[in-house]
């Protein structure tokens, strides 16, 4: 799969992380609740092995709540790991986040041994938005273009609780193909990284399998039992008036409609992967 990342940016990010992680007590990794495994950074896992970990499943408002719970249970079953779900509208993210971190490092805290927490995550996962809401200020740049380098900063959330921010980090290689498609569907990878139509067909296949009724409600496509993905895309185009001359469907426009709707949560709360599926995809990728 030809996804182009930003190697220069990544090498710097790797060095920064190696430097910072030494005196860190808890590592928070922000994940996209719609694609927790795909939005995880294997490099972070490798470089922070052995450190207590808090997984934040962000954008929970866009994700399927039942599957978010499955992922929370999955992470919490791992030793030294906790997980919480958040969204940008959360009223008291500080309380949730601080208490989860304190529980992970009970021997730290107090002015003599302040708790040092590193927060990281791939671009577009919502890190700046969360930091803004934690601090009540707009101090981190928010934006939708993946790969923008952002400065590091230290934020005091309590007298004895320091949050260390890192720039958005990516990984050198996407090993699981489905993960690449899910990242592209979420908007986390640049627009030209993958063919948009392919991304949408992959997305539609998943939705046809797990969220048929949401698709039917949103696009009034009727009974799509036994349909092929491209037939569903064409039908969506027809229903939305995305037509070219001669009665042909404007496939590109139809694909854009589906992607925009998915990213905004307009199709409904959707999660694109479950732990057992992810394991099977990983296994298939290893055997490929």
By CB under 6 A, name the binding residues for ligand G4P: 58-59, 61-62, 87-88, 121, 123-129, 142-144, 168
Nearest distance, CB of residue 92 and ligand G4P, angstroms: 14
HEC string of the chain equals CCCCCCHHHHHHHHHHHHHHHCCCCEEEEEEECCCCCCCCCHHHHHHCCCCCEEEEEECHHHCCHHHHHHHHHHHHCCCCEEEEECCCCCCCHHHHHHHHHHHHCCCCECCCECEEEEEEECCCCCHHHHHHHHHCCCCCCCCCCCCCCCCCCEEEEECCEEEEECCCCCCCCCCCHHHHHHHHHHCCCCCCCCCHHHHHHHHHHHHHHHCHHHHHHHHCCCCCCCCCHHHHHHHHHHHCCCECHHHCECHHHHHHHHHHHHHHCCCCCCCCCCHHHHHHHHHHHHHC
Nearest distance, CB of residue 230 and ligand G4P, angstroms: 29
Nearest distance, CB of residue 32 and ligand G4P, angstroms: 9
Nearest distance, CB of residue 33 and ligand G4P, angstroms: 8
Residue of this chain nearest to ligand G4P (CB atom):
126
Q: Which is nearer to ligand G4P, 143 or 172 (CB)?
A: 143
Q: Which is nearer to ligand G4P, 122 or 254 (CB)?
A: 122
Q: Which is nearer to ligand G4P, 59 or 108 (CB)?
A: 59
Residue 164 pairs with which residues in a beta bridge?
118, 154
Nearest distance, CB of residue 168 and ligand G4P, angstroms: 5
Q: Which is nearer to ligand G4P, 128 or 250 (CB)?
A: 128
Nearest distance, CB of residue 225 and ligand G4P, angstroms: 31
Q: Which is nearer to ligand G4P, 38 or 129 (CB)?
A: 129
CB 125 within 8 A of CB 38: no
Q: Which is nearer to ligand G4P, 98 or 140 (CB)?
A: 140
Residue bearing tokens 């030809």 = 2
Q: Cα separation of 127 and 137, whole Å?
A: 13
Nearest distance, CB of residue 202 and ligand G4P, angstroms: 21
């Amino acid at each position: 799969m030809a996804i182009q990342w930003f190697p220069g940016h990544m090498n710097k990010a790797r060095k920064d992380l190696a430097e910072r992680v030494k005196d860190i007590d808890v590592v928070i990794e922000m994940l996209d609740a719609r694609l927790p495994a795909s939005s995880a950074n294997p490099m972070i896992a490798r470089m922070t092995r052995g450190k207590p970990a808090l997984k934040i499943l962000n954008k929970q408002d866009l994700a399927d709540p039942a599957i978010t719970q499955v992922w929370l249970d999955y992470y919490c079953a791992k030793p030294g790991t906790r997980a919480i779900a958040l969204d940008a509208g959360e009223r008291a993210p500080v309380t949730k986040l601080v208490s989860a971190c304190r529980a992970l490092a009970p021997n730290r805290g107090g002015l003599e041994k302040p708790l040092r927490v590193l927060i990281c995550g791939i671009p577009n996962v919502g890190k700046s938005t969360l930091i803004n809401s934690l601090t009540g200020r707009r101090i981190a740049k928010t934006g939708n273009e993946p790969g923008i380098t952002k400065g590091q900063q230290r934020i005091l959330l309590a007298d004895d609780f320091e949050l260390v921010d890192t720039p958005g980090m990516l990984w050198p290689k996407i090993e699981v193909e489905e993960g690449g498609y899910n990242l592209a569907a979420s908007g986390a990878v640049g627009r030209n990284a993958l063919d948009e139509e392919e991304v949408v067909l992959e997305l539609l296949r998943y939705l046809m399998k797990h969220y048929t009724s949401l698709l039917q409600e949103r696009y009034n496509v009727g009974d799509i039992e036994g349909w092929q993905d491209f037939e569903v895309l064409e039908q969506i185009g027809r229903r939305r008036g995305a037509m070219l001359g001669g009665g042909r469907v404007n496939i590109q426009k139809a694909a854009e409609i589906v992607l925009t709707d998915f990213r905004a949560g307009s199709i409904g709360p959707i999660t694109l992967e479950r732990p057992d599926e992810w394991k099977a995809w990983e296994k298939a990728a290893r055997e490929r």
